[in-house]
């Protein structure tokens, strides 16, 4: 492949790629995203290569290792084209059967298909409920692309938007299109991207920067990672288009070093784009020059904040600064710098290709397009989902996520990461968009959606986030450094059963000061986890404080494990597994827990066979006297 010098040459290359590809040739795609990788997708891929070779099919079947498909719960995922047969939970041992049955005999391996609640098997990916209710505009191509091969991206129409922007549109035209589409920042704040672009373009100074924020730090969110790993060119194309509109010739991609595969795939993508003249000087013969550097972040949550991120790019400690002057005007080396999140950039090519009207038709009044969420926690179908803005939480959690596992009851969903809040059951029919989530005291954030069931303690959840933020506060401003620490102390007291009545008052007061006085968004929003749990689950706080009771049975200091004598079958399992030897009993003798010795590790509860269910958690009540040692099990 040589350098492309015009839009026409790109189209010619696309035609060549499509001509040499036979759409009817079987292709095995193997999800190699982080989740599937953890399940051992690498071994599955190797087994395919081996088995296809030993059956002499290497010229008749293609194998493609793709990025994340999204349905992480059922990894390793394998989809066989052209039929789109979707196999779930594939292990290396399954490969010989898949090769002989599906690739050779053209039949389906039933046992690896999705099975719905009624026991019906579903063959095709697009018919599985998890996928059926989504609209995967941004994320959908992940499953069709080998991220290390630019040809795959070009074959699907990649870089057509860039080519259109450079050859048919003025920079102002591109900017207007993005403004009209009302694309709002996917990183959390939801600020209109077009407006930000315009500020940077109009700011004084010749040298301007465009930056991709891939410092995805929210615990429990991995959308950006999957997009960068699985489809890096889509982000890059958006960035180049943005640079053209803004008049920038240098860009940065700020990626966490914790995402080594994203860095690797980006480096490959940049190299391939440069070779084709899609990046560098005189892009597609248009006279427009632009190039990108990758900056690896070294692990600091606060460095995802715009001013902190830009300081880090300069090689210094990534602390935020007051933003009387926006980074869009004065950012990296005090030059105008436009920062957008990974997903925001990936939306740009879609808008240019399809037009602002098309984009603005998707979503709600104030929030257009789709949003990718990482649907995790106590939900049946863990994974990455992309839905149009405005879909209700209930649809996302139940129709796509399959509801709560283990017959448990839904309690709340947490969105927006540590700056967000919890949303209780009564708001399940809330349409998900930027403004609606803010109204109920949470926020969109970058797209983490953590489902919690009745076994989750909301005080503990607040403590978890505050503890996280206490560790991540950079310490530059006093309200954040001290305020978060004080909140944590109060929450620790509550969870450890040492709280007093004044603690609730303190939790009402501290957030107010933090919100007003902290320097950056980390501190200003740090109170949200506390405020939202207090707002909807105040009774749980009160139970902890007044009754020394943890209703969910989570806070160690407030619970006791107890074996119900009438249910104990003296099976010896808990007794053998207790790490501190706190369980007395023997063969045929009812087991009892020595509360003095018990460290409340929960092992007995975990190992007690569910058909007995003899171990229970008590909170806020006296532990009944144990049955006398040596009491035999009454077997009826």
Partner 1 sequence: MVQDVAQTDEIIDKYKGDKSSLIQVLLDIQHENRWLPRDALMRASQRLGIPLSQIYHVATFYKAFSLMPRGRHSVSVCLGTACQVRGAPRLLDKVTEKLEIEPGETSEDMRFSLETVNCLGCCALGPVMVVDGEYHSSPSRKELDVIADACE
Binding site for partner 1 (CB under 8 A): 34-35, 37-39, 72-73, 75, 217-222, 225-226, 257-258, 295-301, 312-319, 374, 376-378, 382-383, 414, 417, 448, 450, 452, 456, 461, 464-465, 468, 474, 577, 579, 601-603, 606
Q: Please answer whether residues 242 and 337 qualify as being in contact, where contact means their C-beta atoms are separated by less than 8 angstroms.
A: no
Extended strands (E) in 32-166: 62-66, 78-81, 85-87, 114-115, 121-122
Burial (CB count <10 Å: 0-12, 13-18, 19+), residue 40:
middle
Backbone angles phi, psi at 64, to 5 degrees: -130, 125
**195: closest CA among 363, 326, 311, 343?**
326
Distance CA 128, CA 124 (A): 7
434/468 with CB nearer partner 1: 468
99/313 with CB nearer partner 1: 313
Minimum separation from the CB atom of position 302 to partner 1 (A): 10
How large is the C-alpha radius of gyration of the chain? 27
Minimum separation from the CB atom of position 142 to partner 1 (A): 14
Minimum separation from the CB atom of position 18 to partner 1 (A): 33
464/612 with CB nearer partner 1: 464
Helix (H, G, I), strand (E, B) or coil at 442: coil
Minimum separation from the CB atom of position 315 to partner 1 (A): 4
Q: Order of strands, edge to edge, in the sheet holding 62-66?
A: 62-66, 27-31, 78-81, 85-87
Minimum separation from the CB atom of position 25 to partner 1 (A): 32
Helix (H, G, I), strand (E, B) or coil at 73: helix
Minimum separation from the CB atom of position 552 to partner 1 (A): 10
Would you tell me how many other CB atoms lie within 10 Å of the CB of residue 463? 23
257/595 with CB nearer partner 1: 257
Q: Which residue has the tokens 């003025």?
A: 170
Q: Which DSSP helix (H) or strand (E) runs through 202?
A: helix 193-202
Minimum separation from the CB atom of position 39 to partner 1 (A): 7
61/519 with CB nearer partner 1: 519
Minimum separation from the CB atom of position 221 to partner 1 (A): 7
Positive or negative, the Cα torsion across 458, 462, 467, 468? positive
342/452 with CB nearer partner 1: 452
Minimum separation from the CB atom of position 374 to partner 1 (A): 7
515/602 with CB nearer partner 1: 602
**507: closest CA among 557, 463, 563?**
463
DSSP string, 324-375: SS-TTTS-GGGS-EEEEEHHHHHHHHHHHHH-HHHHHTSB-SS-BSEEEEEE
Minimum separation from the CB atom of position 457 to partner 1 (A): 10
52/400 with CB nearer partner 1: 400
52/223 with CB nearer partner 1: 223
249/476 with CB nearer partner 1: 476
Distance CA 428, CA 410 (A): 10
Helix (H, G, I), strand (E, B) or coil at 283: helix
Which residues, in sequence order, are CB contacts of 72 under 8 Å at separation 6+? 33, 35, 36, 382, 383, 384
């Amino acid at each position: 492949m040589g350098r492309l010098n015009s839009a026409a040459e790109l189209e010619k290359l696309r035609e060549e790629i499509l001509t040499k590809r036979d759409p009817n040739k079987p292709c095995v795609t193997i999800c190699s995203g982080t989740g599937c990788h953890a399940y051992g997708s690498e071994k599955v891929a190797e087994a395919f290569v081996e088995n296809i070779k030993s059956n002499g099919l290497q010229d008749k079947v293609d194998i493609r290792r793709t990025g994340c498909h999204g349905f992480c719960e059922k990894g390793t995922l394998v989809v066989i084209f052209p039929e789109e047969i979707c196999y779930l939970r594939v292990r290396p041992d399954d490969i010989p059967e898949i090769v002989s049955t599906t690739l050779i005999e053209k039949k389906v391996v039933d046992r690896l298909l999705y099975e719905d609640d009624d026991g019906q098997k579903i063959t095709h990916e697009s018919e599985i409920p998890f996928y059926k209710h989504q609209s995967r505009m941004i994320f959908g191509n992940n499953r069709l692309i080998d991220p290390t091969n630019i040809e795959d991206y070009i074959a699907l129409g990649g870089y057509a938007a860039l080519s259109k922007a450079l050859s048919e549109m003025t920079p102002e035209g591109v900017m207007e299109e993005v403004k009209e589409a009302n694309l709002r920042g996917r990183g959390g704040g939801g600020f209109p991207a077009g407006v930000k672009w315009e500020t940077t373009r109009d700011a004084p100074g010749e040298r301007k920067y465009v930056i991709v924020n891939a410092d995805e730090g929210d615990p429990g969110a991995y959308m950006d990672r999957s997009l960068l790993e699985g489809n890096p060119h889509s982000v890059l194309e958006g960035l180049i288009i943005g640079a053209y509109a803004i008049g920038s010739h240098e860009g940065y991609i700020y990626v966490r070093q914790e995402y080594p595969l994203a860095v690797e795939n980006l480096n490959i993508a940049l190299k391939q784009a440069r070779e084709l003249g899609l990046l560098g000087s005189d892009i597609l013969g248009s006279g427009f020059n632009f190039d990108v550097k990758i900056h690896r972040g070294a692990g600091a949550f606060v460095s995802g904040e715009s001013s902190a991120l830009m300081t880090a790019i300069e090689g210094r400690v990534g602390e935020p600064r007051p933003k009387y002057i926006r980074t869009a005007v004065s950012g990296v080396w005090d030059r105008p710098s436009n920062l957008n999140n990974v997903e925001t950039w990936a939306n740009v090519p879609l808008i240019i290709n399809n037009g602002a009207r098309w984009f603005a038709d998707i979503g709600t009044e104030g929030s257009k397009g789709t949003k990718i969420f990482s649907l995790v926690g106590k939900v049946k179908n863990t994974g990455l989902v992309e839905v149009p803005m405005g879909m209700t939480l209930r649809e996302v959690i139940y129709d796509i996520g399959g509801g709560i596992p283990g017959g448990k009851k839904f309690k709340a969903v947490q969105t927006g990461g540590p700056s967000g809040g919890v949303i209780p059951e009564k708001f399940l029919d809330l349409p998900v968009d930027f403004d609606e989530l803010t109204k109920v005291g949470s926020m969109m954030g970058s797209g983490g959606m953590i489902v919690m069931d009745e076994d989750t303690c909301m005080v503990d959840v607040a403590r978890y986030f505050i503890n996280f933020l206490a560790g991540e506060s950079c310490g530059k401003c006093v309200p954040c450094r001290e305020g978060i620490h004080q909140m944590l102390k109060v929450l620790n007291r509550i969870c450890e059963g040492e709280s007093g009545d004044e603690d609730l008052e303190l939790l009402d007061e501290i957030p107010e000061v933090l919100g007003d006085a902290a320097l950056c968004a980390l501190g200003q929003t740090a109170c949200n986890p506390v405020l939202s749990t207090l707002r909807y689950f105040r009774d749980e706080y009160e139970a902890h404080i007044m009754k020394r009771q943890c209703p969910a049975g989570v806070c160690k200091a407030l619970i006791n494990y107890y074996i119900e004598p009438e249910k104990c079958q003296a099976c010896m399992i808990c007794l053998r597994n207790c790490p501190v030897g706190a369980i007395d009993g023997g063969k045929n003798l009812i087991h009892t827990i020595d509360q003095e010795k018990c460290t409340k590790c929960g092992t007995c509860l975990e190992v007690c066979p569910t058909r007995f269910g003899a171990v229970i958690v008590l909170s806020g009540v006296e532990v009944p006297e144990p049955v006398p040692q040596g009491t035999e099990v009454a077997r009826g």
